[in-house]
Structure 1
């Protein structure tokens, strides 16, 4: 098997950390990203900075010796944005969430696609979206749902237009997952009572999402490009 290198954003905890660990277990060189560096293999960058995606990409290319085979767009921001906030607060929260959850992913995807078009072989991008892309979210999370819906549109467009060039795109839509990012939200929506909406009776574990992401990155057939995989315990079925 050809040695592969992956760039995984938001890899310091939760789903991103589980994906990085899973890929490494398969022999993939993983270059991680986090807002703050947690180890020498992690690139530190704040995705609210418009220059961050290009800086992350350039550093990753340098560390990998000039070749990145896999991109996992996992970094995300999930914070409440009540409509009762002041206009400027609401807009600031909206723009921060879209920049981190959608715009940065789009910029990195663009750089990856250009890189693969210039190379001798293609590559794969895996987007960690959300069931909110299809189902919507709470009244305080318009911005999150909109960003994840945009990510699905981005994913489908990449799949449709670059498959013939060997560039494959896959997306995963988790529901509630047992991560630090979701803790406050779970508490605000009733905690254990929220499980009544999940037929499986529990939230997903990060390792489950990592298994799916690793499959998409390494094992999924090319004919699956453009697919969206759900992982929400049947709380939303399409």
Structure 2
């Protein structure tokens, strides 16, 4: 039986690469997006992967969206929490809205998405939860107290949920990408990338979304059943822990 996978932020960037990799491996994939309808429709047309729209920072929306996915595709076996935003600014200039927007979308969304699926996974004795964190959740980054706090929080959430569910056949792991060649990074000024970021990366290049997708595909597989509570750093040697 084909397993059902949900990928949030699944129509662009890293999420798109993960959704496509899972789809190619035979999973039934639901790609969740927040607002860019044009990109979502183009993605669905190009890949044949169904798309669903809801706000992952809204618990009720997640409940309703997941219920629809399960009614249309089947019970969720794999959940990839990839959706995330940035609102970069130094803390002394940060607004409450900028703080809350990032915390709610990047961190609270893990509760909002995991809570509606975890009981079913426990009952069925199988589940794969993969949280996409960040190198900046491991090391911090000036101008990103909100983002770094959220991404570090994801790592604690991952380990605690892994402890709670290891004996139920459910693994919970995190991937911490470094700087990946996505729209978010491409939007950065070239001089910042070339003069400040690339010199920190031992491999001397940005990562590709497909390199993160291959990691997620492995963690979703049967072969990764003995890996849980782990953090996989994929950053080209920028930061080693």
TM above 0.5, yes or no, is yes
Distance 2:184 2:131 in 1: 17
Deviation, 1:53, is 1.8
Distance 2:66 2:191 in 1: 37
Q: 1:229 and 1:90, CA in 2 relative to 1: closer, same or farther beyond 3 A?
A: same
1:70 aligns with 2:78: yes
Answer whether contact 1:199 1:235 (CA < 8 A) is retained: yes
Q: 1:224 and 1:25, CA in 2 relative to 1: closer, same or farther beyond 3 A?
A: same
Task: Provide the residue aligned with 1:226 in structure 2.
Answer: 229
Task: Provide the residue aligned with 2:62 in structure 1.
Answer: 53
Distance 2:6 2:162 in 1: 19
TM-score scaled by structure 1?
A: 0.91
Distance 1:204 1:110 in 2: 31
Unpaired segments of 5 or more residues in structure 2? 45-49
Superposed CA offset, 1:68-97 (max 9, x none)? 110000000022133343xxx611011010
1:4 aligns with 2:37: no
Q: Name segments (4+ residues, structure 1) moved above 6 Å.
A: none
1:169 aligns with 2:172: yes
Superposed CA offset, 1:143-163 (max 9, x none)? 000000111111001111111
TM-score scaled by structure 2?
A: 0.90
Task: Provide the residue aligned with 1:126 in structure 2.
Answer: 130
Superposed CA offset, 1:39-92 (max 9, x none)? 361111133444322222122112213x1110000000022133343xxx6110
Deviation, 1:17, is 0.3
Deviation, 1:188, is 7.7
Deviation, 1:203, is 1.1
Q: Secondary structure at the match of 1:69?
A: strand
Correspondent of 2:90 among 70, 82, 87: 82
Answer whether contact 1:47 1:104 (CA < 8 A) is retained: yes
Answer whether contact 1:81 1:94 (CA < 8 A) is retained: no
Task: Provide the residue aligned with 2:47 in structure 1.
Answer: none
Q: Secondary structure at the match of 2:221?
A: helix
Deviation, 1:5, is 0.6
Matches within 5 A, 1:1-238: 2-36=1-35, 37=37, 38-39=40-41, 41-65=50-74, 67-85=75-93, 90-117=95-122, 119-138=123-142, 140-184=143-187, 186-187=188-189, 190-193=192-195, 194-238=197-241
Distance 2:168 2:71 in 1: 24
Q: 1:32 and 1:195, CA in 2 relative to 1: closer, same or farther beyond 3 A?
A: same
